[in-house]
Amino acid sequence: MSAVAFFPSEASLRAVRVHQAARPTTADERSEFVRYWELLPRTTLPVPSDGAAVVIVKFSDYQCPACGQSFFDDRPVLSKYQSQYPGAVKFVAKDYPLQPECNPNILRPFHSASCDAAVAVRLARQHNKGEALEEYFYGHQAMMSPVTVREAARTIGGVTDFDEGYARAIDGIKADVGLAALLGVRSTPTFFINGVKLEGITPQTLDLAIAYELKKAGKIK
């Protein structure tokens, strides 16, 4: 099996509709992954580690089907390592809406409500309801529009000042987009795992990458 098989394209991820769990990998697969991983370049990101041995930065769009699948499929993997090795794995979500209104790198609109959704989640985090709203958006992408996003922001995210908060939230989103441009992000989801850039990955790859980086850092014997 080629190590490249662990890294499906965004198009192939979009075609998959059933959420996947990280399957056990063989010793040969793990060895092959390590050889491949060590050949990949690393980029330094302006994201503090806060003492974590593994820093995962993910650029997403709330209307992107591959991002939705990744959100649900990767959550058990992240939870496993964050519970087993508290403080050793840090996950940072960044916005990269595929919509020209807040992303000048997008020349034609892919989505109609991804900028609004990113704003809504940022505002919902102020009410400690950001994760609940993220889960709702990723689970109801077919229903998303500027109107339904605002309604969900109010009823699920506790956001009662969407229009007032839009201006300050959109600045943060544009900052993420600017960073993405500097890093060469072209599609969603795009991951950086300790600086290694990956465009769309399986739960198995995420599992292997975290385990390997933790082992390198001496967290796993």
Q: How far is CA 212 from CA 40, 58, 59, 75, 195, in A?
A: 14, 18, 22, 18, 14
Do 2 and 91 share a domain, yes or no?
A: yes
Domain of 213? 1-96+186-221
Q: pLDDT tens across 24-56, in order? A: 778 888 899 999 999 999 999 999 999 999 999
CA–CA dist 120, 108 (Å, integer): 22
Q: 137 with 212, same domain?
A: no
Asked if residue 73 and residue 8 are part of one domain, the reply reads yes
| d(C-alpha 119, C-alpha 56), whole Å | 22
- Are 155 and 112 in the same domain? yes
Query: If you search the block for the tokens 């050949």, which residue do you land on?
Result: 39
Q: Which residue type occupies 69?
A: Q
Q: Are residues 89 and 139 in the same domain?
A: no
Give the least confident one: 72-76, 99-103, 200-204. Answer: 200-204
* pLDDT band per the 50, 70, 90 thresholds, residue 20: low
The CATH number of whichever domain residue 85 belongs to comes to: 3.40.30.10
The verdict on 83 and 120 lying in the same domain is no
Residues 134 and 200 in one domain: no
pTM over 0.85: yes
Provide the domain count of the chain: 2
Predicted pLDDT at 11 = 38
Please, what is the Cα angle at 150 between 113 and 121, to 5 degrees? 75
164 in the same domain as 90: no
In which band, very low, low, confident or very high, does the pLDDT at 19 lie, cut at 50, 70 and 90?
low
Residue pLDDT, tens place only, 158-211? 999 999 999 999 999 999 999 999 999 999 999 999 999 999 889 999 999 999
Residues 79 and 156 in one domain: no
Given this model, what pLDDT does residue 21 score?
60
Q: How far apart are CA 196 and CA 187, in angstroms?
A: 15
Q: How far apart are CA 204 and CA 201, in angstroms?
A: 8
Helices (H), the chain: 10-15, 27-39, 65-84, 114-125, 130-139, 146-155, 162-183, 203-216
Indicate if 152 and 116 belong to the same structural domain.
yes
Residues 115 and 197 in one domain: no
Same domain, 7 and 81: yes
Percent of the chain residues topping a pLDDT of 70: 90
